[in-house]
């Protein structure tokens, strides 16, 4: 009968298609294309960046690339820009398909992970150049340099002199920051006055890497940490010990005492500029807007010292070379050396309004010279920056910490939540053979 014949034929064809499709899959997977997307030996290097949508940074990258292309005829670099949100996943997907670009930028804390995974090639012959960079702006793994960045940014407590004066709160300095008690007393004064909707805003509405970047330094200020940095084997005791519990209680307490919004608004920066927030935890990237609105009244302060000194995050986006450059490895190294000069550091840092990685560049960037208006950020970074744990297990630690911190903020039992996080992190480090 007709239907049965059709279905039999269809079934036979599908069965025949199995080996065909499997060979197609296998072939696609095993062929590894080098970073040259176009003609084979042409010397074209692809460069990936996360800066799509970021006009200034993208323009700086294009300038450096154009200069490099003009300076020699053997290699040509081509820029491909991606949106930041999906960038890491795009790179992971490209790595799985063995189609990594030749040159790419990496978020600082991910460098050990990508180096261990074999995505990144070490930067040979650049040791003396990179030793002059701020330590938080280079990616070092197992004593080899894998990446360098043009700038770093500094977290700080942004407020206004007039506001602090009104409530009798001392203006802290890098040498004499607030103590934890001083800070909390000040916040209570502001809350009792009722003048501000948010005495403090920690920007808890943001998602992604912001949580480990911004909130693990607060944990570190209490004396806890994400993992034991002696051997990077376990987080036991540092992430779930007394100091970590103290941080958890303080963090949740800020929300329950209504000193900060549990989930901040869509744009905490604007809330601060509109007078809704008294003290905003923000990065130096917000400085320009703040100065425009408040002029000299605005003040950038170190975070409080909760016992272990004030701490802020460190390491921003950095540039590295993949292991997929094939014949163009020499060209890629040339580009990395070309792009690392102070001239470009200064240019990039200026466009990103961020701290230049080298002292020499800082001297030429307006505002970052000693005594300049942005010097405070340089000092904050130098004195207080702590890089996120230098271990290939960092992406896992970051997601675990984010979830745990969110749960703690929402009222989960801190000991239970932190114990679970420690267990997961330890299991992951162990499951990977401690990333030897």
Partner 1 sequence: MTTSTFKPAVPAQPAAPPARAKRAGRRPGTVAFLMLVPAGVLILTFLLVPIVLTFGLAFTNARLISPQPARFIGFDNFVRLFDSDTFYASLRNTLVFAIVIVPVQSAIALGLAMLINVKMRGVNFFRTIYFLPVVTSIVVVSILWLFLYQPNGLINALLANVGIQGPDWLGNPNTALFAIIVLSIWQAVGFHMVIWLSGLQTIPGELYEAASIDGANPWQQFAYVTWPGLRQTAIFILITITISAFALFSQVNIMTQGGPLDATTTLVFQAVRTGFQQQQTGYAAAISLVFFVLVLVVSLIQRYLTREKDAR
Which residues make up the interface to partner 1 (CB under 8 A)? 1-3, 5-6, 9-10, 13-14, 17-18, 21-22, 24-25, 89, 92, 95-96, 113-114, 116-119, 207, 262-263, 265-266, 395-396, 399-400, 403, 406-407, 410-412, 420, 427-428, 431-433
Q: Are 104 and 90 in contact (CB under 8 A)?
A: no
Beta bridge partners of 140: 145
Tokens matching residue 25: 């899959």
Do 285 and 56 form a contact (C-beta atoms < 8 A)? Answer: no
Strands 76-81 and 44-49: parallel
DSSP type of residue 302: P
CA distance 268 to 204: 9
Query: Nearest distance from residue 370's CB to partner 1, in Å?
Result: 41
Minimum separation from the CB atom of position 258 to partner 1 (A): 13
Residue number, 277 or 374, with CB nearest to partner 1: 277
Which is closer to partner 1, CB of 116 or CB of 145?
116
Q: Return the number of the residue (51 or 323) whose C-beta is nearest partner 1.
A: 323
Judged by CB, which is closer to partner 1: 194, or 433? Answer: 433
Write down the H helix ranges in 223-325. Answer: 242-256, 268-273, 287-294
Nearer residue to partner 1 within complex by CB, 29 or 253:
29
Sequence-ordered strand ranges (E) for 72-227: 76-81, 103-107, 120-121, 138-141, 144-148, 151-152, 155-160, 198-201
C-alpha to C-alpha distances, 311 to 156, 183, 228, nearest whole angstrom: 10, 15, 17
Greatest Cα pair distance, the chain, in angstroms, is: 93
CB of 141 to partner 1, least distance (A): 13
Rounded Cα distance between 41 and 92, Å, is 26
User: What whole-number distance in Å separates Cα of residue 19 and Cα of residue 51?
Assistant: 42
DSSP code of 318?
Answer: E
Residue closer to partner 1, measured from CB, 69 or 428: 428
- Element containing residue 47 per DSSP (H, E): strand 44-49
Provide the minimum distance between the beta carbon of 92 and partner 1 in the complex, in angstroms, as a whole number. 6
Residues 6+ apart with CB under 8 A from 307: 180, 221, 222, 223, 243
Distance CA 253, CA 276 (A): 20
Integer CA distances (angstroms), 174 to 171, 227, 304, 355, 385, in order: 10, 27, 10, 17, 12
Alpha-carbon span 209 to 396, nearest angstrom: 12
Neighbouring C-alpha atoms within 13 Å toward the C-beta of 41: 0
Sequence length of the chain is 436
Question: By the 8 A CB rule, do 174 and 376 touch?
Answer: yes
For partner 1, the closer of residues 21 and 370 by Cβ is 21
């Amino acid at each position: 009968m007709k239907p049965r014949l059709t279905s039999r034929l269809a079934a036979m064809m599908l069965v025949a298609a199995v080996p065909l499709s499997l060979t197609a899959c296998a072939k696609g997977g095993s062929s590894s294309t080098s970073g040259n997307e176009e003609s084979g030996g042409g010397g074209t290097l692809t460069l990936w960046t996360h800066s799509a949508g970021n006009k200034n940074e993208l323009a700086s990258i294009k300038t450096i690339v154009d200069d490099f292309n003009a300076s020699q005829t053997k290699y040509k670099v081509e820029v491909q820009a991606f949106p930041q949100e999906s960038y890491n996943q795009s790179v992971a997907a490209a790595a799985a398909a063995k189609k990594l670009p030749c040159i790419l930028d990496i978020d600082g804390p991910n460098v050990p992970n990508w180096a261990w995974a074999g995505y990144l090639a070490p930067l040979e012959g650049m040791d003396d150049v990179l030793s002059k960079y701020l330590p938080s702006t280079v990616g070092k793994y197992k004593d080899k340099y894998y990446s360098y960045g043009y700038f770093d940014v500094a977290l700080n407590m942004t407020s206004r002199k007039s506001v602090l004066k009104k409530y009798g709160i001392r203006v802290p300095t890098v040498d004499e920051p607030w103590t934890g008690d001083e800070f909390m007393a000040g916040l209570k004064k502001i809350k009792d006055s009722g003048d501000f909707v948010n005495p403090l805003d920690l920007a808890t509405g943001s998602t992604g890497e912001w949580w480990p970047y911004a909130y693990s330094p607060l944990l570190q200020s209490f004396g806890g940490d994400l993992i034991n940095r002696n051997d990077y084997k376990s987080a036991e005791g540092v992430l779930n010990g007394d100091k970590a519990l103290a941080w958890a209680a303080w963090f949740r307490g800020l929300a329950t005492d209504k000193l900060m919004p549990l989930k901040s608004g869509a744009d905490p920066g604007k809330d601060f500029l509109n007078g809704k927030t008294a003290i905003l935890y923000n990065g130096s990237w917000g400085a320009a807007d703040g100065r425009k609105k408040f002029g000299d009244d605005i003040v950038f302060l170190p975070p409080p010292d909760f016992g272990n000194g004030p701490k802020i995050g460190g390491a921003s986006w950095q540039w590295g070379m993949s292991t997929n450059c094939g014949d163009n490895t020499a060209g890629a190294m040339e580009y990395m050396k070309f792009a690392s000069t102070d001239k470009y550091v200064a240019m990039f840092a200026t466009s990103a309004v961020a701290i230049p990685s080298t002292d020499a560049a800082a001297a030429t960037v307006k505002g970052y010279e000693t005594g300049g208006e942005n010097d405070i950020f340089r000092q904050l970074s130098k004195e207080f920056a702590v890089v996120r744990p230098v271990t290939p297990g960092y992406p896992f630690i970051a997601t675990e910490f984010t979830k745990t911190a969110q749960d703690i903020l929402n009222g989960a039992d801190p000991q239970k939540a932190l114990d679970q996080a420690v267990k997961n992190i330890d299991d992951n480090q162990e499951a990977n053979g401690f990333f030897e």
